[in-house]
Structure 1
Amino acid sequence: MSLIDLGTKTTVSGSPLRIVLKWQGAISGYNDPSVEVAKLSTRLGLTVPSGIDEDGHMTYRSAAVKPYGSRLSLFWSELEEGNSYVIVTLDTADLKDEASFQGLADEVSTILEQSNIKAEWNVSLQGIADQQGGPEGVLSQTEGLLKEQFKAVDEKESYKDVATVSRTYSILDLKRSIVSGNHSVSAQIAVHQEDQHGTNRLTIGFPLITIEY
């Protein structure tokens, strides 16, 4: 079961399914950042950006709309001479074509690897939960599906207030993890009740949620 499968099983059928996939990492050992930015932008199908000095660091930004309403963006910040930090984001407000989105994601991963950028990824999915009522019930339903797919799902952290509940998990089956607090975690589920009618916004992230939930 992919994250998209998990999302479609737990959100209202036909409702918008937002996905934000982000790669971030460092690149070093080059002579001219503008040359490297131009190469990467061209490979990603983006307009080559001009650099802007922000707080003493040269930064470059470029973005473009891709097929089926997806948006691809590049952020490049020079940390010091010969060293930069790169963030590439692929997002869609409503997933229309899973195969197209996955294909573009695979292409971006390959381009970053070929560009010698050691990037780590994170992905977040968000939609309206098909189960209404208390947020904890929605989270438990989603957690149950997660445990059906993976053998070792262990809750590590939790948060709760009047309208929101969130839990993070370690999952031994997943290679990608990140340190949060004193724990190594691979997934996060959050549910926020948006109104008095009980409409719940469900957000799932691997290894952590990186968008507002």
Structure 2
Amino acid sequence: MNILCLGFIVVIAAAVSVTAYASNAEEQDGHGAEGVIQDLTWMANLLEEVSGSDMALTAMKIGMIKLTEGEEASDVVQMILNSGSSRSDTGMAALSSLTRLAVSVQQQSGGEALVVVRLESESLEEMERYSEWFQHLDARLLALGIQSDWRLNLQADMKEVLHADEFWDRLEGAGAHRTESIHAYQDLRSASMTYTVPRLHRWITAAGQEIHLQAAVHHLTTGDGYRLTLGTPLITIEY
């Protein structure tokens, strides 16, 4: 069974605090979109060493906004997608043959709304394309008052000749330092660990430790293969 990781639940339940965390992180590292691409490149290079399939990307951005008088959730969706009304009706737009953009705006009490933006690639594209997309989306979201940072998730199947333990070894060899059981999980088919990785620009603080990365290995139900997932600062997709 796939597992919806704890990080996703925490992010949705505390959208306001998530926005504050990301704003502080951007203030301290000062890299903005450049930092996102640097983190994505580091994760992709690491996963490429052990993966035997295309890498799928899910990048998420979450924040709370205050709707102006007369403004509807669909108006916000259209503004973010920057497209015609037909796409705002579905909350989705194709950025390329491999990548789509999905936007969800859920109206809350008091005129507030929770905004969730997902950029999904079934196969990883050139980094230049992501740099352009992230910059454009950041500008649109900043206009709404959303300054939260991107949560990046990469996923791929492990090479058949490798064992799960080799994935953990590669992580530590790349400069990832395992935290002391924070958000660690293990059952018969899946395991996940959290790490500090000083070179990454996204983090959360838990139990007095900075967490930059969460990694997971899932033993597939068909065959003897493994699915690998990396997320910064936490995984926000099913693994």
Instruction: Tell me whether the two structures share a fold, i.e. TM-score over 0.5.
Output: yes
2:142 aligned to 103, 113, 134, which one? Answer: 113
Is structure 2 residue 63 aligned with structure 1 residue 25? Answer: yes
Is structure 2 residue 179 aligned with structure 1 residue 155? Answer: yes
Q: Is the 8 A contact 1:164 1:192 kept in 2?
A: yes
Cα deviation for residue 105 of structure 1 reads 2.1
2:231 aligned to 192, 205, 208, which one? Answer: 205
How many residue pairs match? The answer is 197
How many angstroms apart in 2 are the aligned matches of 1:163 and 1:74? 32
How many angstroms apart in 1 are the aligned matches of 2:139 and 2:193? 32
1:88 aligned to 108, 117, 125, which one? Answer: 117
Within 5 Å, give how 1:30-45 maps onto structure 2: 30-34=68-72, 37-38=74-75, 41-45=78-82
State the identity as a percent. Answer: 22
Cα deviation for residue 143 of structure 1 reads 3.2
Local SS of the residue matching 2:91: strand
Local SS of the residue matching 2:179: strand
Structure number with larger C-alpha Rg: 1
- Post-superposition Cα deviations, 1:49-69, rounded to whole Å, max 9, x if no partner, equal 799xxxxxxxx8510111142
Q: Is the 8 A contact 2:154 2:229 kept in 1?
A: yes
Is structure 2 residue 154 aligned with structure 1 residue 128? Answer: no
Structure 1 residues 141 and 196 mapped into 2: Cα distance closer, same or farther (>3 Å)? farther
Cα deviation for residue 145 of structure 1 reads 1.9
Q: Provide the TM-score with structure 1 as the length reference.
A: 0.77
Local SS of the residue matching 2:139: helix
Could you say which structure has the higher strand fraction?
1
- Post-superposition Cα deviations, 1:21-52, rounded to whole Å, max 9, x if no partner, equal 00000112622332x7525524533444799x
Within 5 Å, give how 1:158-177 maps onto structure 2: 158-177=184-203
How many angstroms apart in 2 are the aligned matches of 1:129 and 1:178? 27
Deviates more, 1:107-116 or 1:69-78: 107-116
Could you say which structure has the higher helix fraction?
2
Higher normalized contact order (CA 8 Å, seq sep 6+, divided by chain length): 2
Cα deviation for residue 195 of structure 1 reads 5.1
How many angstroms apart in 2 are the aligned matches of 1:176 and 1:183? 13
Which segments of 5 or more consecutive residues in structure 2 lack a partner in the other structure? 1-40
Cα deviation for residue 172 of structure 1 reads 4.1
1:98 aligned to 124, 127, 133, which one? Answer: 127
Cα deviation for residue 167 of structure 1 reads 0.6
Cα deviation for residue 206 of structure 1 reads 0.3
Q: Provide the TM-score with structure 2 as the length reference.
A: 0.70
Q: Is the 8 A contact 1:127 1:201 kept in 2?
A: yes
Local SS of the residue matching 1:67: coil
Cα deviation for residue 77 of structure 1 reads 1.1
Compute the RMSD of aligned alpha carbons. 2.9
Aligned to 1:57: none
Q: Is the 8 A contact 2:81 2:92 kept in 1?
A: no
Which segments of 5 or more consecutive residues in structure 1 lack a partner in the other structure? 52-59, 148-152
